[in-house]
């Protein structure tokens, strides 16, 4: 599974806002130019980004395997025709190039995921989006991070308990609604305890955040992000 | 070391309560995308429970906090939490092949919330009649399919019919099953959000 890994690569030392900008610029230009030449340049850039963040290609492809299935099927479906000539190569090529750019965008975002702790992302969100929406979004992301393993545990417990009572022999609607209902009621219990805890700890609109600062390495990377974003309009 | 001295601006109690629910349900959605998935008869695709939680967000959090909760889920996934289908994450997923579905989720939660609760106070969805629930959920599902298909067609350069074959048809049995399950959950009346 794709996740943050502590390391000392070039990407790990960059400010999260720079890395977000690079991804947005990259995605914009990749979506705008599904041509072989542009994709060649973007492939090289993807290679540089992945090397800069120490991302393993094999593990990343494994993490995105379900998306890859759709990306691989799209050109085949697009090329297949009912009747002669049975396979339309032009349509398949266009779709193949389009699928490939999506793969590149996914690989670049994997570099961000590997090199940025959630705490930094939270600070970036809160500093970029002004006012109370930014605050709630930042804190919310931190809470989702905190509660994800807990609720995963809850769902797993519910499923194991059902399996132990031969729940797996029941109909699909019954199973889905039981998991949904128990999952939701546990989530609501946790949420009510959480809100009590937040109130008890003076949950405020203005807490103290970790400091973020652009270093010298950030500026050239930021410039790359701007160039990428602008190239979408060429 | 520098010290900051600001007065604390407390968050309103009602906001804290709704916000905590939105955050925890966003986490539940992330958990369901990975842990849930139940094989169903006559379909090669197992049912994942992610969309079910979108329905529940609209029903139990309403038209404001439901979409906000989906927004938290999408943001958490974008910055690297493995909450998207099968544990994927990253901004790439939000512009990738399945991005249309993901962007449709907040709209779906908004539509369900508005149809069930209106603009006023949050009500107990168990008091809503089954036809109204079914219409709200089917409308939401239609929006999700429509945006999902249009985006998939655009980003992978396939025709609409091919996009439907690739990204709608295999999922229809599971999605209808989730709508029935959602109605069962709501009518069970075990949870009262008011």
The pLDDT tens digits of the residues spanning A177-224 come to 888 889 999 999 999 999 999 888 878 776 666 677 788 888 888 898
Between the alpha carbon of residue B172 and those of residues A165, A198, B75, B144, the distances in Å are: 29, 41, 27, 12
* Sequence spans of domains, chain A: 10-116+214-231, 123-200
Which residues of A are less than 8 Å from B167 in CB distance? 70
Residue-level pLDDT at A207: 67
Q: Which residue has the higher pLDDT, B110 or B38?
A: B110
Residue-level pLDDT at A41: 92
Q: Are B46 and B39 in contact (CB under 8 A)?
A: yes
Q: Are A125 and B75 in contact (CB under 8 A)?
A: yes
Between the alpha carbon of residue A121 and those of residues A126, A138, A141, B75, B95, the distances in Å are: 9, 8, 9, 10, 19
Name the A residues in 86-145 with CB < 8 Å from any B CB.
91, 94-95, 97-99, 102, 105-110, 112-113, 116, 118, 121-122, 125, 136-137, 139-141, 143-145
Q: State phi, psi for A23 to the nearest 5 degrees.
A: -65, -45
Name the B residues in 5-64 with CB < 8 Å from any A CB.
6, 8-11, 13, 16-17, 19-28, 30-32, 34-36, 38, 40-41, 47, 49, 52-53, 56, 60
Residue-level pLDDT at B129: 87
Residue-level pLDDT at B45: 58
Q: What class is the B13-188 domain?
A: mainly alpha
* Sequence spans of domains, chain B: 13-188
Asked if A78 and B159 come within 8 Å (Cβ–Cβ), the reply is yes
Is residue B44's pLDDT more than 60? no
Say what the ipTM of the complex is: 0.85
> Looking at the DSSP assignment, which residues form a beta bridge with residue B47?
B38
Confirm or reject contact between B157 and chain A (CB < 8 A). Answer: yes
| Strand, helix or coil for residue A130 | coil
Residue-level pLDDT at A87: 80
Residue ranges of chain A whose pLDDT lies below 50: none
């Amino acid at each position: 599974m794709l996740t943050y890994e502590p390391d000392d690569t070039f990407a790990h030392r960059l400010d999260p806002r720079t890395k977000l900008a690079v991804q947005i610029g990259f995605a914009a230009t990749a979506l705008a130019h599904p041509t072989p030449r542009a994709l060649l340049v973007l492939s090289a850039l993807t290679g540089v980004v992945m090397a800069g963040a120490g991302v393993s290609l094999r593990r990343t492809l494994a993490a995105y395997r379900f998306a890859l299935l759709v990306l691989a099927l799209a050109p085949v479906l697009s090329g297949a025709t009912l009747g002669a000539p049975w396979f339309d190569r032009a349509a398949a090529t266009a779709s193949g190039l389009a699928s490939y750019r999506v793969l590149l965008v996914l690989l670049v975002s994997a570099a961000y995921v590997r090199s940025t702790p959630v705490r930094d992302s939270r600070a970036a969100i809160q500093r970029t989006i002004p006012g109370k929406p930014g605050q709630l979004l930042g804190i919310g992301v931190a809470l989702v991070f905190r509660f994800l393993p807990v609720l995963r545990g809850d769902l797993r417990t519910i499923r194991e308990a059902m399996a132990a009572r031969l729940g797996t022999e029941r109909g699909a609607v019954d199973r889905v609604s039981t998991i949904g209902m128990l999952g939701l009621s546990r989530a609501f219990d946790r949420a009510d305890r959480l809100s009590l805890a937040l109130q008890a700890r003076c949950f405020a609109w203005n807490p103290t955040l970790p400091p973020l600062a652009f270093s010298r390495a950030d500026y050239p990377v930021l410039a790359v992000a701007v160039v990428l974003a602008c190239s979408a309009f060429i | 070391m520098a010290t900051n001295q600001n007065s604390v601006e407390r968050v309103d109690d009602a906001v804290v309560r709704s916000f905590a629910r939105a955050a925890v349900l966003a986490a539940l959605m992330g958990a369901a995308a990975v842990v849930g998935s139940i094989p169903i008869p006559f379909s090669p695709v197992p049912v994942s429970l992610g969309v079910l939680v979108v329905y529940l967000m609209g029903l139990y959090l309403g038209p404001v906090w439901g979409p906000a909760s989906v927004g938290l889920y999408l943001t958490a996934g974008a910055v690297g939490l493995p909450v998207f289908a099968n544990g994927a994450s990253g901004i790439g997923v939000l512009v990738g092949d399945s991005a249309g579905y993901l962007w449709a989720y907040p709209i779906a939660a908004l539509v369900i919330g508005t149809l069930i609760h209106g603009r006023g106070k949050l009500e107990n969805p168990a008091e809503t009649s089954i036809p109204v629930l079914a219409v709200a959920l089917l409308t939401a599902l239609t929006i999700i399919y429509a945006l999902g298909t249009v985006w998939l067609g655009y980003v992978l350069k396939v025709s609409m019919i091919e996009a439907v074959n690739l990204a709608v048809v295999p999922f229809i049995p599971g999605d209808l099953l989730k709508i029935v399950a959602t109605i069962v959950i709501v009518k069970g009346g075990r949870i009262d959000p008011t």
